[in-house]
């Protein structure tokens, strides 16, 4: 099967991007340098094509009740024009995907799934929708993200981009809150702008019709040039999210992992209730309720490298013997890279609970060589303002 192409494919080619297959799509891995793109997002701003993400519209009279049933979060309580990070779990509590739900109307939401999981999420949502008066349908749209401390200034300076306080109830770029969204306009066309992202910086995600994606991409790049905006690829996106301690499906999350093990227990709302005050039997509830207080077999931790060599996904985490040699295996690395911002290797790993305390000195088997790592709290990086 050939990879799909986003509406911005020709733009990436023209910029000389190094492309890669990701989740069934051809996506830019980097344009010039992973490190330069990463640093631009931390210091100025980066422009990402995220059109591979799966947008699924959910609307109808039962939309809120349906999402309370289908997802682990209390989605009916999300206010109009607000967003919520959530998960869709299987009956056994395993994570099928992590996603963001945006409420764009009283009975209108859209769900953003990971590219590789879009079909699974769409299939599961449709299956779970049987008893509800709701429509679940994929949405054809392009998604562009401007991420970084200069993002707001850049959007404000973008030709053709306008706030729409009439449609948004007075929401502007300035007062748009983190994890909120608002309708705005690009060249007269309605777009949705979310103050969300996957980089640990301030920033916006903009859903635009596929036909207007190239125009918006170019307008943003033109406006952003003087602010230091550069196009940024998946490689920078991955190192940015890792520094910010954000999980990536397929690495920290998968069907064998519950939200509790991943340190994401807060997204599971076992306290959701039906209209008559009984516990709401959402999909996965029973399994998750029994797993909640059971001692976990493994815990997700942050690891800081004390040497120079980064750990990579799949490498063994081992006990550190007194002489620095490798001891018994106590876990596995799920993501790892040299942190461009911090200057030392960082990694996330699942380890057994007895070695998960902050400050525990461990090691990672880096291709036969034992490299020292120490358990540190997540995230590795937090923006200052």
Interacting residue ranges for another protein, rule: CB under 8 A: 18, 29-30, 33-35, 38, 235, 238-239, 308-310, 312, 337-338, 340, 367
Cβ nearer to another protein, comparing 35 with 120: 35
Cβ nearer to another protein, comparing 35 with 90: 35
Chain mean position to CA 222:
27
Cβ nearer to another protein, comparing 16 with 279: 16
SS3 content of the chain, % helix, strand, coil (to 5): 25, 35, 40
Report the nearest approach of another protein to the CB of residue 238 (Å): 8
Cβ nearer to another protein, comparing 182 with 240: 240
End-to-end alpha carbon distance in the chain: 45
List phi, psi (to 5°) of 272: -60, 140
In angstroms, the CA 103 to CA 183 distance is 11
CB 51 within 8 A of CB 8: yes
Report the nearest approach of another protein to the CB of residue 318 (Å): 19
Report the nearest approach of another protein to the CB of residue 250 (Å): 15
In angstroms, the CA 245 to CA 265 distance is 15
Cβ nearer to another protein, comparing 17 with 193: 17
Report the nearest approach of another protein to the CB of residue 105 (Å): 40
Cβ nearer to another protein, comparing 100 with 234: 234
As beta bridge partners, residue 280 has none
Residue 306 burial (C-beta neighbours within 10 Å; 0-12, 13-18, 19+): middle
Tokens read off for 136: 């679940």
Residue 312 burial (C-beta neighbours within 10 Å; 0-12, 13-18, 19+): middle
In angstroms, the CA 174 to CA 373 distance is 41
Report the nearest approach of another protein to the CB of residue 376 (Å): 20
Report the nearest approach of another protein to the CB of residue 115 (Å): 18
Cβ nearer to another protein, comparing 46 with 93: 46
Cβ nearer to another protein, comparing 199 with 360: 199
Chain mean position to CA 161:
25
Report the nearest approach of another protein to the CB of residue 235 (Å): 5
* Closest alpha carbon to 67 in 109, 98, 21, 33: 109
Report the nearest approach of another protein to the CB of residue 236 (Å): 9
């Amino acid at each position: 099967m050939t990879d799909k192409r986003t509406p911005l494919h020709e733009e990436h080619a023209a910029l000389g991007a190094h492309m890669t297959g990701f989740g069934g799509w051809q996506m830019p891995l980097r344009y010039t340098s992973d490190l330069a793109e990463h640093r631009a997002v931390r210091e100025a701003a980066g422009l990402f094509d995220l059109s591979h993400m799966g947008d699924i519209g959910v609307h109808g009279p039962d939309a809120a009740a349906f999402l309370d049933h289908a997802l682990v979060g209390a989605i009916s309580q999300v206010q109009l024009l607000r967003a919520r990070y959530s998960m869709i779990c299987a009956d056994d509590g395993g994570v099928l995907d992590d996603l963001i739900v945006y409420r764009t109307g009283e009975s209108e939401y859209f769900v953003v799934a990971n590219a590789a999981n879009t079909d699974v999420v769409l299939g599961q949502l449709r299956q779970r929708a049987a008893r509800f008066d709701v429509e679940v349908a994929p949405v054809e749209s392009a998604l562009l993200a401007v991420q970084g401390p200069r993002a707001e200034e850049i959007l404000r300076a973008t030709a053709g981009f306008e706030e729409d306080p009439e449609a948004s109830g007075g929401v502007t770029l300035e007062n748009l809150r983190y994890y909120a969204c608002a309708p705005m306009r690009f060249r007269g066309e309605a777009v949705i702008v979310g103050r969300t992202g996957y980089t640990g910086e301030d920033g916006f995600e903009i859903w635009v019709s596929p036909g207007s994606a190239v125009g918006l991409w170019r307008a943003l790049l033109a406006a952003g040039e003087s602010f230091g905006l550069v196009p940024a690829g998946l490689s920078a996106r991955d190192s940015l999210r890792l520094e910010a301690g954000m999980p990536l499906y397929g690495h920290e999350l998968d069907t064998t992992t519950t939200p509790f093990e991943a340190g994401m227990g807060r997204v599971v709302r076992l306290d959701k209730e039906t209209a008559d005050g009984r516990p709401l039997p959402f999909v996965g509830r029973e399994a998750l309720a029994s797993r909640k207080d059971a001692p976990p077999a493994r815990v997700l931790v942050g690891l800081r490298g004390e040497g120079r060599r980064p750990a990579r996904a799949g490498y063994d985490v081992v006990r550190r013997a007194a002489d620095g040699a490798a001891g018994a295996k106590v876990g596995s690395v799920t993501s790892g890279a040299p942190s461009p911002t911090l200057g030392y290797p960082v990694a996330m790993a699942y380890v057994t609970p007895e070695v998960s305390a902050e400050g525990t000195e461990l090691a990672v088997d880096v291709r036969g060589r034992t490299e020292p790592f120490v358990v540190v709290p997540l995230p590795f990086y937090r923006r200052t303002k």
